């Protein structure tokens, strides 16, 4: 390898490369050291295309690049006037450093790039916004505008996130204008996913600035919504303690078939907590939200204890939610408890018995399964109104 480092003629580098290939030495190594030496040799001998080809072969071979590999590839790209490739590599490196939390190196890479294109700006602004350096991200956005480059939808999503973290309403209004301008500059039609992402960022931004009304205005105009849309709006209302509106919005979300995630539940619970501070008594819908959350993570006994402490009896929706959680996660005693009460409320709901039978089967309680099926057949034939699972299971 020492001889290779001193090679400046293409033929010399080629001979070393051929020898390594014949020996099968190059592809048998997982270290990038020998690849780097060859790439550097081709670059010094005036063959940047060969250096880039080696970089691609190295990547396809599963050899991870190190801190020396990428600068060599960048130099080769620049020598080739492969500006697009060079820019992509630069933006990618900035993004990698940012995601790793090394903002010093990310910023250094950005600052040392003499010809910054939008991809590099987006990478550093996004990294800073997600890394908690919102003020610095906004400062770079202002520099971007002064440079004459026009931000796109990717830029504005990161900028809206940074602005929300700062909680500056006046700045948020300016960002909103920039978002609209970025949307209009993009050739139609704007992909639905990009539109939703932009609008979600605005809902989140206004919510963090304490303006749930402005967040709601954006939310109400959205043609398409995903779970992040609903969650951002729930969070905007939750911050202000508007528990009743949060629960109603959560119910609308479920009615439209959108599955909540853990962030959604945090927003709902936060709203209920804030609502308690404002004198809002927990209603059945509040209990239902918590039971749903506990049931999704298998804490069915905790959910049952919560319902035991309700000032009024749980309704069929809440009991059905708990019974469904038992079917998924197990819990025979809780399932029987919920089934008995649900059957008492809805004697004609045969689905109660089906779910309870599934719970028994999952636990291997085949005698209970058989007994319940006999009961279901008898109920189906006799149609006795007063005969229900409530008479079999203790209330």
pLDDT digits (tens, 9 = 90+) for 69-79: 878 887 777 76
294 pLDDT band (50/70/90 cuts)?
A: confident
- pLDDT for 172: 93
**51 vs 159, higher pLDDT:** 159
Task: State how far the Cα of 339 lies from the Cα of 336, in Å rounded to an integer.
Answer: 5
pLDDT at 390 over 90: no
Q: What is the 3-state secondary structure (H, E, C) of 101-137?
A: CCHHHHHHHHHCCCCCCHHHHHHHHHHHHHCCCHHHH
Average pLDDT over residues 351-360: 91
Task: State how far the Cα of 234 lies from the Cα of 207, in Å rounded to an integer.
Answer: 9
Structure tokens at 359: 């719970």
Mean pLDDT of the chain: 79
pLDDT at 385 over 60: no
**Which of 106-115, 302-311, 360-369 has the weakest average pLDDT?**
106-115
**Which of 9-13, 159-163, 240-244, 264-268 has the weakest average pLDDT?**
9-13
Task: State how far the Cα of 119 lies from the Cα of 360, in Å rounded to an integer.
Answer: 57
203 pLDDT band (50/70/90 cuts)?
A: very high
- pLDDT for 349: 86
Q: What is the pLDDT of residues 40-63, one digit of tens each?
A: 887 877 778 888 888 887 777 667
**Which of 100-114, 212-226, 242-256 has the weakest average pLDDT?**
100-114
- Residue 358, burial from CB neighbour count under 10 angstroms (0-12, 13-18, 19+): middle
Average pLDDT over residues 335-350: 90
- pLDDT for 170: 92
Positive or negative CA dihedral for 375, 376, 380, 386? positive
pLDDT at 85 over 60: no
Task: State how far the Cα of 45 lies from the Cα of 42, in Å rounded to an integer.
Answer: 5
Task: State how far the Cα of 372 lies from the Cα of 63, in Å rounded to an integer.
Answer: 60
What are the boundaries of each domain within the chain? 300-395
For the chain, helix, strand, coil in percent to 5 are 75, 0, 25
Q: What is the pLDDT of residues 130-148, one digit of tens each?
A: 887 889 999 999 999 888 8
Integer CA distances (angstroms), 225 to 1, 221, 228, 380, in order: 58, 10, 8, 43
- pLDDT for 18: 56
**237 vs 22, higher pLDDT:** 237
Task: State how far the Cα of 250 lies from the Cα of 286, in Å rounded to an integer.
Answer: 10
Degrees, nearest 5: CA angle 273-274-276? 65
| Residues near 199 by beta carbon (within 8 Å), at least 6 away in sequence | 218, 219, 221, 222, 229
| Residues near 83 by beta carbon (within 8 Å), at least 6 away in sequence | 77, 115
Residue 9 DSSP class: S
Task: State how far the Cα of 264 lies from the Cα of 271, in Å rounded to an integer.
Answer: 11
Structure tokens at 77: 């790209």
**389 vs 380, higher pLDDT:** 380
392 pLDDT band (50/70/90 cuts)?
A: very low
**106 vs 93, higher pLDDT:** 106
Structure tokens at 289: 């939200």
Contact 215, 236 (CB under 8 A): yes
Please tell me whether the overall predicted TM-score, pTM, comes out greater than 0.75 for this model. no
81 pLDDT band (50/70/90 cuts)?
A: low
Contact 385, 347 (CB under 8 A): yes
236 pLDDT band (50/70/90 cuts)?
A: very high
Task: State how far the Cα of 114 lies from the Cα of 247, in Å rounded to an integer.
Answer: 52
4 pLDDT band (50/70/90 cuts)?
A: very low
pLDDT at 25 over 80: no
Average pLDDT over residues 271-286: 68
Contact 58, 35 (CB under 8 A): yes
Q: At what angle do helices 366-382 and 351-362 cross, to 10 degrees?
A: 170
């Amino acid at each position: 390898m020492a001889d290779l480092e001193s090679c400046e003629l293409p033929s010399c580098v080629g001979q070393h490369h051929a020898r390594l290939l014949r020996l099968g030495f190059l592809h048998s190594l997982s270290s990038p050291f020998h690849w780097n030496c060859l790439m550097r040799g081709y670059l010094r001998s005036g063959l940047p295309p060969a250096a880039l080809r080696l970089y691609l072969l190295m990547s396809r071979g599963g050899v991870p690049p190190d801190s020396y590999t990428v600068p060599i590839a960048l130099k080769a790209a620049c020598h080739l006037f492969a500006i697009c490739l060079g820019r992509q590599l630069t933006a990618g490196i900035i993004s990698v450093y940012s995601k790793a939390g090394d903002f010093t190196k990310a910023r250094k890479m950005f600052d040392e790039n003499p010809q910054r294109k939008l991809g590099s700006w987006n990478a550093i602004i996004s990294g800073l916004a997600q890394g908690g350096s919102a003020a610095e991200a906004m400062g770079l956005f202002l520099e971007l505008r002064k440079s004459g480059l026009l931000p796109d939808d990717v830029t504005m999503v990161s900028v809206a996130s940074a602005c929300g973290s700062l909680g500056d309403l006046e700045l948020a209004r300016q960002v909103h204008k920039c978002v609209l301008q970025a949307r209009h500059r993009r050739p139609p039609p704007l992909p639905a996913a990009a539109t939703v992402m932009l609008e979600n960022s605005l809902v989140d931004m206004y919510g963090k600035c304490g303006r749930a009304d402005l967040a709601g205005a954006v939310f109400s105009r959205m043609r398409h919504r995903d779970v992040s849309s609903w969650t951002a709006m729930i969070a905007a209302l939750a911050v202000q303690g508007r528990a009743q509106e949060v629960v109603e919005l959560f119910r609308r979300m479920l009615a439209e078939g959108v599955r909540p995630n853990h962030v959604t539940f945090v927003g709902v619970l936060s709203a209920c907590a804030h609502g308690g501070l404002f004198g809002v008594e927990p209603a059945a819908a509040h209990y239902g939200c918590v039971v749903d959350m506990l049931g999704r993570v298998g804490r069915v006994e905790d959910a049952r204890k919560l319902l035991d402490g309700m000032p009024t009896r749980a309704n069929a929706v809440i009991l059905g939610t708990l019974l469904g959680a038992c079917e998924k996660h197990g819990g025979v005693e809780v399932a029987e408890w919920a089934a008995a009460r649900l059957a008492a409320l809805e004697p004609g709901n045969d689905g109660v018995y089906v779910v309870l039978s599934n719970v028994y089967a999952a636990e291997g309680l085949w005698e209970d399964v058989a007994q319940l099926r006999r009961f279901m057949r008898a109920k189906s034939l006799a149609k006795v109104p007063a005969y229900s699972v409530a008479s079999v299971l203790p209330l």
